[in-house]
Every structure is written in C-alpha cells, then in structure tokens.
Structure 1
Amino acid sequence: MPQVPIPCLFMRGGTSRAPYFNRADLPEDQDALAEILIAAVGAGHPLNIDGVGGGAAVTTKTAMISPSKDDWADIDYFFGQVKVDERLVDFGPTCGNILSGIGPAAIEMGMVPAQDGETRVRIIAVNTGARIEAIVQTPGGQVEYEGAARIDGVPGTAAPITLNFMDVVGSKTGKLFPTGSPLDVVGGVEVTCIDVAMPIVVARASDFGLTGYETAEELDANREFYARFEPIRQEAGKLMGMGDVTKSVTPKFAILSEPRQGGAINARYFMPWNCHPSMAVTGSICLGCCTLAPGTVAEGLAKKPEGSPTVVTIEHPTGQIDVTADYSISAGQFDLKTAGLLRTARLLMRGEMMVPQAAFK
C-alpha cells in the first residue's frame, strides 16, 4: 500500500524544530489529524526512530498554518505538541519558539507576499487566541535566514525575527492569576499560578531542596523531584479551572532562584515532564510577568528592572533570554500591554512528509 505524501517545510523555530504544514493539506477532525502527526513524528518510541522527531519535546512539535479569516491577521497558526514516547498529541498549548518560523513559513508557502527589506506578518495563535506580529527580514523580497542575531540554545548566528505579543494575559484561563491570588499554597509549597501566553505553576527552587542552577540533565535525572512537583501541578491545574491535567502539557511548571549572571531572575522550565534545555518563548513571557508582578514567588529573588517598557532578562540552562514588557502597576494590580522578544529561525528542508496509509483512518 503506497504512503501518502503531504507537502511540508521542516524548520528550526527558535530553540525548537518542527514540520510546518499547510492546514488545508490535513484533515479537519482532530482525532484524524493526531494520527497523521503521530505517524509523521514517530511518537511512541523514545528516539522517534520511525519519524522526524528527535526524542525530545522540543523536537516533537508540529505547526499548521492557513490564511486567516480575521480582519486583523494574515495567518492562523495551529500548534500540536506530540509526545515522545506516547501516541498522544496535545492541541491545548501553543509554542512561541515554533512561532518564530511561522512568518518565514507563510512567506515561503506563498500565503504572505514578501516586501523588500522586511515583512510584517500578523498571526493569530489559534490554540490560545493570542495576536502576534512577526517582523521577518526579506531583502529583495526573499526570506533571509543568515545574519548576526544570536539566541542562547542555538549554535551560531542567524537573521533576527522580532515577535510582538498582544492579548496574551489569561491565554487559557481568562485571568492573569486564575486562582484569584498571586500566591497559593499547594501540597505544602508556595506557588504562583499565572497565565500570560502560557499557564504556568511557578515555585521557588529552594522549596524543593534545589539550588535552581542544576542543568536540565541533572533535573531530569532527579525523578524524586518530578514525583513531588507533578501532584502539585495537577492540583494547581484544578485550582486554575483547567480540570484534570494529568495527560495535558499545561499548565507547565517552573522553578525560580536568584540570578547569577546579571539577569532579573534564574529559571528552569518544565514541559512538564522534562526540563526545557533552554527556555520557551511563551514561558519566558509568563515568567517575565511573574518577575515583574507584585506578590508572586519571585518576590525576594528577582532583581527587578525599573521603568516601562523594560527588558526582563531570564537566566536559563544554556544562557539568557530577554523579554521586553510594556506594563503598568496600579493599586497593586499588574497590567501587561505588550511583550516582545527576538528569535531566529532556519528552513532546514522542503518537500513531502511521507505518511503511512494506515494513519488515515
């Protein structure tokens, strides 16, 4: 029985990697869609040996784009997080690193005409409803991938892509602090349940007997730590109004500690069953707001920058990430207007993803 070819671009977006599909080439039904994405990535094997996944959560992501029907936007971006060793796809969250490649992909696919110099691509993240403007370098009307921009977690340099996020507060729950408080006690541990671009349960590293400066590999090897925080994450998910999150990758989990390299805060971000090797884009926006907002677990740890707009530098396992936040605080209430950061992307391959006929049920 012949395999089914599906056109796609294979791209690095930020510190992640994914096949980028035209949504029109895939089934509308999410169960049928999940089977195709599972087959493409090779989910259900620790190395994803029968697909293009790389055996890690940052390399089992998928992106689907289409022209937007929204008057404001050019492109709709639908994200699917495929699990590594389970045949499972989570369509709940979005991914800001993969978002870095959406502008270039939309231009490469002919959905957005390239301008000479730079091209602004207005994007709606379908999973969360967030609006993002991506500024892509397009000298001579062609996407430029080579440049001098550097992001920690990716070797070398590349052309800069600027992402400006709007409408990201309460991305999943509708509230900045879904529990109604910037500080809660869950499982005997103080946490901040916060939802900006990505819902996250945030705790202090020291409350788990950690320094917060452990490598991602050291944390992943510490299964006692995972066994302790996972029930907290699940209970916090219920308190946030997200229901049973046992099999969901949201809310994510993060731990904070004092910065050591001149940043505002040091963080480790979990996806949630593995530590991110660097830092997620949406996660960085949320943790940046957690750092700036009064009354959170970041109080007493963070070196808060002054003024607004301001740059919040978050230290992570492989370096730092800078988040620009335009915000205000009035009567103790934190209000985010926009958040932005710089990323890069690279087209790795274009062609057809070959999917077994059996995946089409």
Structure 2
Amino acid sequence: MDEAGAPDQIAIRCTIMRGGTSKGVYLLEQDIPGAGLMRDRLLKRLMGTPDILQIDGLGGSRLITSKIAIVGRSTGPDADIDYTYAQVVPERDMVVYTSNCGNISAGVGPFAIDAGLVAGTAPMTTVRIRNTNTGRLLIARVPVAGGQAKTAGSFAIDGVPGTGAEIQMDYARTVGGKTGHMLPTGASVDTILLEDGGAVRVTVCDVANPCVFVHAADIGLEGGELPDAFTGNTALLDRLREIRGKAAVLAGLCTDWRCVNEQSPALPLMLLVSPPKACRTMRDTVVATEAMDLQARLVWYDRCHESMAGTGSMCTAAASRIEGSVVRQAMAPGAAETNRLRIGHPMGVMTVTVEAQPTNAPGGVAFRTLAFSRTARRIMDGVTYVPRETSTPGANLQRSL
C-alpha cells in the first residue's frame, strides 16, 4: 500500500477491467496486505460493502460488478502468475474466496501482460494462471500487439456491447478442483428429498466450480424465465436454497443444508436446465430454438445471473458429456456428438468448446479441451483511496470465507 495521499486516506494502485460479462477491480498482490483479516477489511472498504448500493466504493451494487482479482507472479514452476478471485457481496459484510470466476479470469492474462508480469509476444501469448481459490491451472491465450494485450477485434459475446479481441480460456485442468472428484457423489444423478415430501433429480459436478444441475420443470419453471422472475419470489428462492444446501452436503461443502448461505455461500452454483426453446432475452431479442443446445439459468447468492458464468459454462459443458446426467437429458438430440455446446441464457447464447474422450474414471469421460472465449477491456488505471482507519484492525473483525 502507498502511504502517500491525503493524511487520512491510503492510496492503492488499481485497474478496473471488464472481463467477459463481469467487471472488477484488478490489484497487484504486492500492493495489498497478505491473506487475512486486514485484506478482507480493505477489500470490503474498497468496494463499499456492506452498503447495498456500494455508493462509497468502487463496487457497482451488483454481484457481477463487485468482483476483485488479486494478481502476482507465481510461486510455482508450472504457472506464470497466481490469481486469487474475491467476490465482495454488496449487501453482506463478507468477502468470499471459495470459488473462481471464469469471466474475471479472462481479464487476468491481459492484466498480467500489461502490468509487466508476463512478457507479451505477438500474435498470441499463452499465460499459465494458477487460480489459488481452487489450486487448479487455467490456460489463457491472449492476442498481443506491440507487447501489450490487444483490445480491438471482431469477436462478440452476448451480454457485452460491440466486439473485441478473442481471449481463449482452457479449463480442462480444473476437474475436481474443490472436491477432488468430477462427480463428488460418485453418481451421474442423485435424488434429493425435500422437506415438503417432494423429490428432485440432480447432478452434482465439480469442474471449474462445483455446480448442482436441476431440471427447471421439476421446480415448476419453463426454463426461459428472465432474472426478474426470481427477484422477490420467496417460495422459489427458498426451494432453490434447500436444493443447493442439500447438494452442498452431498458434495461435502457444508454440514447442514440450512446453513449453506453461511457455510458455503458461493458453492455449489445452482443451474436450472431445460431443453432448447425459443425465448426472449433481457435485450428484448428472441433466440431461436435451433440456435441453442439447451437453456440454463444460473442462480447464485439467491439471484439469477444476468447471463452465464464462465465457470458455470465449463461445468455445464463437462456434465453434458456424462451419460445420464441432468444436463445430458435436457440437451437437443445429437448435440453431444459435436465439439461444442451452445448454452441459452438470459442475454443470448454462449458457445463453448468441449472435446471429450472415454475413460474408466467416474463420469466416463476425460477432457482434451474445455474452453470458452471471452473479450476483456481495460477501462481505467489509477489510484483508489480507502480511509487510513481501514489499516487498523477492528475489535469485531471476523475472517471471511
């Protein structure tokens, strides 16, 4: 941290970047305290949490704009940089480190090149990223010109205006990153008994981030609902929280499903899947049935994601190649015979690459390639200020997850 600046504030270098369909603050690891209470307190103050509007910080009051990437040179021989993802929840007094963010990870390679942590070589530089949240290796292929990451290009993604340079993110090395197994329960489908006497079929899969997949129809939804349909729907959110909590117990991520929001607030991600069907997007456009292989709605922190998380897309792609999985059941006929998966989401369609091969391991498949493409753009470089009192530990601090 830089002690210069106003007498009662601390100055910290930062970059604001859009990575995929998220936006976050990118920090150099050397500029902030090490992992612990001081770091947590600083990050919350920097973003303006727990004020739901984050009016006194850099956060944008939404989950997809309240994210942080902490980047530094790697301490291991198999990676170029280490990257820690921090989700600062707008209305909760917490920083969550238990998961990774695929969209924010797409900005890590360009950030590292532009910050001089990795030498940029045209036309493409491969950046090996060790994600400290999961302990797994991500491979970013970043277009470069003049030693800097390119921004301009012709690649477009639904949920982001305009086009940009295509960044390829390969997640094939992230299988079992959190639980140690692609199928933490050992089964492609489990049945969860609900407190009201009902039951739902789920697939719990751990690739990129652990996810629990449920047929949208099994909880009374069509599958093409937009995020507003979830907001304020207490009965629906309570039901989804119960399913997620019981899946978290099955995966060993928490001990009591009723406490999932405290014990494991981020994981597993909850995905509602359904067969492809023409639907209207948040931009008031229509996606045709034949433009997708299935529909998915991702619910996290009791909210429906506006598009599709990068890690969620990777886990969905992996589960789509597992015989009998909930995802496989929802797919269009023949879709699993290609090397792509087209996922319909509230903003449009996300197309990912999945090259699988048979194996005797649980799940029956291994992955040669598990990748998605994103764009990223550096929006601002500068200095952010936090009150100097932030650097003084408070008596009531509690370590975040």
Secondary structure in structure 2 of the residue aligned to 1:136: strand
Q: Contact (CA 8 Å) 1:8, 1:20: kept in 2 or not? A: yes
Secondary structure in structure 2 of the residue aligned to 1:300: helix
- Tell me the residue number matched to 2:205: 194
Q: Contact (CA 8 Å) 2:319, 2:328: kept in 1 or not? A: no
Does 2:210 correspond to 1:173?
no
Q: Deviations over 1:76-124 (max 9, x none)?
A: 1101111110110111001110001001110111101111322221111
Q: Deviations over 1:3-41 (max 9, x none)?
A: 111111110000001110001111113221111110111
How far did residue 293 of structure 1 move?
1.0
40, 43, 55: which one aligns with 2:61? 55
Q: How does 1:209-220 map to 2 (within 5 A)?
A: 209-220=220-231
Does 2:311 correspond to 1:305?
no
Q: Contact (CA 8 Å) 1:77, 1:123: kept in 2 or not? A: yes
Does 2:235 correspond to 1:228?
no
Structure 1 CA distance for aligned equivalents of residues 234 and 247 of structure 2 = 20
Secondary structure in structure 2 of the residue aligned to 1:234: helix
- Tell me the residue number matched to 1:317: 346
Q: Contact (CA 8 Å) 2:182, 2:205: kept in 1 or not? A: yes
Structure 2 CA distance for aligned equivalents of residues 327 and 31 of structure 1 = 42
Q: Contact (CA 8 Å) 2:307, 2:348: kept in 1 or not? A: yes
Structure 1 CA distance for aligned equivalents of residues 175 and 56 of structure 2 = 38
Structure 1 CA distance for aligned equivalents of residues 310 and 32 of structure 2 = 26
Which letter maps to 2:68? Answer: T
Q: Deviations over 1:285-316 (max 9, x none)?
A: 001122221111124321242546x0111111
268, 278, 286: which one aligns with 1:251? 268
Q: How does 1:252-271 map to 2 (within 5 A)?
A: 252-260=269-277, 261-262=289-290, 263-271=292-300
Structure 1 CA distance for aligned equivalents of residues 93 and 12 of structure 2 = 20
CA RMSD of aligned residues (A): 1.5
Comparing 258-267 with 73-82, which one deviates more in the overlay? 258-267
Comparing 331-340 with 59-68, which one deviates more in the overlay? 331-340
Which letter maps to 1:317? Answer: P
Structure 1 CA distance for aligned equivalents of residues 206 and 342 of structure 2 = 19
Comparing 295-304 with 222-231, which one deviates more in the overlay? 295-304
Q: Deviations over 1:191-246 (max 9, x none)?
A: 11111111011101001110010001222242221011101211211110112432
- Aligned positions, number: 360
309, 318, 340: which one aligns with 1:280? 309
Regions of 4+ moved over 6 Å: none
Comparing 51-60 with 25-34, which one deviates more in the overlay? 25-34
Q: Contact (CA 8 Å) 1:284, 1:314: kept in 2 or not? A: yes
How far did residue 322 of structure 1 move?
1.3
Comparing 341-350 with 21-30, which one deviates more in the overlay? 21-30
- Tell me the residue number matched to 1:203: 214
Secondary structure in structure 1 of the residue aligned to 2:146: helix
Which letter maps to 1:146? Answer: A
TM-score under structure 1 normalisation?
A: 0.96
Structure 2 unmatched ranges of 5 or more: 1-6, 278-288, 394-401
Structure 2 CA distance for aligned equivalents of residues 252 and 214 of structure 1 = 18
How far did residue 336 of structure 1 move?
2.4
Structure 1 unmatched ranges of 5 or more: none
Structure 2 CA distance for aligned equivalents of residues 136 and 11 of structure 1 = 15
Does 2:376 correspond to 1:345?
yes
Does 2:251 correspond to 1:240?
yes
Structure 1 CA distance for aligned equivalents of residues 82 and 274 of structure 2 = 36
- Tell me the residue number matched to 2:3: none
Does 2:346 correspond to 1:335?
no
Structure 2 CA distance for aligned equivalents of residues 335 and 352 of structure 1 = 44
Comparing 288-297 with 215-224, which one deviates more in the overlay? 215-224
Q: Contact (CA 8 Å) 2:170, 2:369: kept in 1 or not? A: yes
Structure 2 CA distance for aligned equivalents of residues 315 and 206 of structure 1 = 16
Secondary structure in structure 1 of the residue aligned to 2:335: coil
Structure 2 CA distance for aligned equivalents of residues 228 and 112 of structure 1 = 46
Structure 1 CA distance for aligned equivalents of residues 352 and 269 of structure 2 = 19
